[in-house]
Structure 1
Amino acid sequence: MVLRVVSALLFLEHGTQKLLGFPDGGGHAVSLFSIMGLAGILEAVGGALLVLGFKTRIVAFLLSGEMAVAYWTAHAPRGFFPVLNGGDAAILFCFVFLYLVFAGPGAWSLDREKG
């Protein structure tokens, strides 16, 4: 549960940086009608949904896929080692979200399974 919330808050921050230029986006946001704009929307909306624990498994599956695509298209071409190509966060988010697909949202969520 704590893993879901903390990961989602960090992910949400990536979305707000792309969409709003905050924090420290130099005040410049990306165009909504671009690949980065789509990524920002997925990150902001998906991050918010994961913080709340709403539709967790579906959202986590989509975001895990987004991070896999982000790694292979944006980071891997820059070099083999993730720490050098800037892709270590993308890999970590990908696998944390994949874990949430199978583990579920946890007790403190809108999706919690009662019983």
Structure 2
Amino acid sequence: MRDMTETTKTYGANYAGFIHSHLTPKLMKEKKRFLNVTFKVERHPNYTGNHQLASFDHIMGNTFPLGTTKQEMTDEFLAETVVKDMEGKTWTKGEMIQVVEITKCFEDSCND
């Protein structure tokens, strides 16, 4: 296969990228594995604000390293900072919502 510069001269820039991305053999990449978790949540009874997070009933797409326990996932999730309000108070998820349960937890992967 020709190099990218030679292919661009011959076929033009529009086709050079296509040719190299589809016809050049790709290297096998190491996949990064992790846990993908969906939490069922409810509004924290002491939270009186109107942040949108407090209106959700499920929050998905939370990722954790393999081997993380349910309690560790829940603790880490609730400790995340959400927002700093106009008075300077920093809110965490745990002050706005409570985790009812983990509804989905599966091993997922992505290319590094």
In the superposition, the TM-score normalised over structure 1's length comes to: 0.26
Higher relative contact order (CA 8 A, sep 6+): 2
Instruction: Looking at secondary structure, tell me which structure has more strand per residue.
Output: 2
Larger-gyration structure (1/2): 2
Instruction: Looking at secondary structure, tell me which structure has more helix per residue.
Output: 1
In the superposition, the TM-score normalised over structure 2's length comes to: 0.27
